[in-house]
A and B are shown apart, each in its own frame.
Chain A
Amino acid sequence: MRIGFLTRRLFLVIPTFLGVTIVVFLLIHLTPGDPVVSMLGENYDPDVAAKIRHDLGLDRPPIVQYFVWLGRVLHGDLGTSIYTGDPVLTLIGEKVSTTVTLALGAMAIAILIAVPLGVLSAIFKDSLFDNVSRVLCMIGACMPVFWLGLILIILFAVKIEIFPPGGTIAEYGLKAIVLPWFAIGFFNAAYITRMMRASMIEVLSEDYIRTAKAKGVPGRGIYFRHALKNAILSVITVIGMQLGLILGGAVLTETVFNLPGLGRLLILSVGRRDYPVIQGCILVIVSAFVFSNLLVDVLYRFIDPRVKLK
């Protein structure tokens, strides 16, 4: 039965992934005028333009172009950078580890802050602690991640010189990524805390919690053995969806801290009109998002026995 669900869920991802590839493919074709002219800008040369047009397959009918491009993508060929001449996959491969380290660290920080804060807020609902935590969450959710990054630079790199204001992991080690982790982590923690609090409050009002209390189960047992286990399930889904915010945040945070990740590569490529790299970066980021959601969806159904695995 579980295998059946897994297969069905995997098949449902295929149309979404194909849709994503169509949108990414169309990006280059939506460019007003001739995309090759836009790419080359002032360096336009008819021979070079013809070669690029042929390399990108732009001299064929669009539907043929799409399937040729999709075939290449599925074989791991994302094309060649117009700016550097390197294969796009190599360029992305060089940067992806920074973005993955950034995303995973930021997610870990968000969870470590949000889960205890949300649980305590729910347990001490309407107390001073709860009100302060709610205000902090509201402020956190309203602060743009790039501004939070700049504030962290002012505080911890300019005023107190603990961390570098920017730079690569190769230069400063993990110190280079601590402030970006916290910039994205705080922002996402604000959302997850609100969800955790709401979910915990809902669970705490359930009959079985009242029964446990009536039976004399101590507070810690009620909160952590009965309530948390159930409340955290709905938060898991949110955490999966947060990955999109984190990847979006990575584009901005990598720019703030000059981190050479996938997001920075995307922004630099937009400035260079390097469309194959833009397409490659977007495809990789969106695929990561789609598949992480799939993973969370599958995990959710395995963790929560109440969800029917049809």
Chain B
Amino acid sequence: MNKLVKNPVTFFGVIISLIMIFTGIFAPLISPYPYQELHLKDKLKPPCEKYWLGTDQFGRDILSRIIYGTRVSLLVGLGGTLIGMLFGIFWGSVAAFYGKWVDDAIMRVVDVMMSFPYIVIAVGLVSVFGPGLFKLIMIVGFLRIPEFARITRGPILVLKEMPFVEAAKAIGQADWKILFKHILPNCLMVIFVYASLSIATAIRVEASLSFLGLGIQPPAPSWGLMLADGRQYIIYATWLTTFPGIAISLTILGFNLVSDGLRDILDPRLRRAQ
């Protein structure tokens, strides 16, 4: 943690990510208005003292909707990543540990899943299961599985040849115990680095799907949905598209910087260069 904070760029990423997480948790306390509250007399108001970031076509406060939108983005980002991580780690570990046909079979499925452009397969899955927060988390989680499987498989292929694994086998420990108790903890950091990057990707996918009308449904607040709504008023109400876009970009930037910082700390070659 100390190393993470020492690098100013990474520190900036940590601060952004923490601000976003706290904003999401304490949304009802810091939001000036409820996100769905209509102020019909104040439709499409530009940023002013009463509404810091302006209002939308229904007179809803943009700032409040962005604050509540943080919850949606983080829920999908963290929830999707967690699901992808759990299943990805499992399949990646099994593939690497057992090798041979098990590895071939699992990795061919992973290859097929990774040959789909992200948004395209997400659109396909939403067309089947329908939109909504819970389904979105599941879909994003499902799409993260192949990459986590691949990320996990690499280090385990090396670790399973180590003497401590041989020793564990020699004393007759069960495969699952060797795999999940001895091998996996040694590669968790690599997975966590990737997880912080994955949160950013998941947030981007949520925003994209909501922008296309296939993610979060109105009146729930989502940054992508706010951008889609603002598109119709782009000529005379540019604030509708400007602020939610900044929120998405900042959040993605924050998690990307944390991921870059973690990777720099963990990569011995980069550490030596520094």
Contact = CB atoms under 8 A, between A and B. Distances in A.
A285 B227 CA distance: 26
Contacts of A143: 245, 249
B181 interface: no
Interface residues of A, number: 49
Of residues B111, B116, B211, B253, which shows the largest number of chain A Cβ atoms within 10 Å of its Cβ?
B116
B128 A252 contact: no
Interface string A209-250: 000000000000000000000000000000000001101110
B123 A267 contact: yes
Interface stretch (B30-38, B166-174, B230-238): B230-238
A68 B224 CA distance: 39
B227 A165 contact: no
A286 B115 contact: yes
Contacts of A151: 241-242, 245
Contacts of B231: 150, 256
If over half of A's interface residues share one DSSP class (helix, strand or loop), that class is named, otherwise mixed; here it is helix
A247 B211 contact: no
Contact of B234 (A139, A141, A158, A252): A158
Contacts of A244: 117-118
A138 B129 contact: no
Interface residues of B, number: 44
Contact of A23 (B112, B227, B245): B112
A131 to B, nearest CB: 11
Interface in A1-51: 15-16, 19-20, 22-24, 27-28, 30-32
B256 interface: yes
Interface string B196-232: 0000100010011001111000000000100100110
A184 interface: no
A156 to B, nearest CB: 12
22 contacts: A19-B109, A19-B111, A20-B116, A27-B124, A27-B128, A139-B249, A142-B250, A143-B245, A144-B248, A146-B227, A147-B241, A150-B231, A154-B238, A158-B234, A158-B238, A247-B117, A247-B120, A251-B123, A255-B211, A256-B231, A286-B120, A293-B115
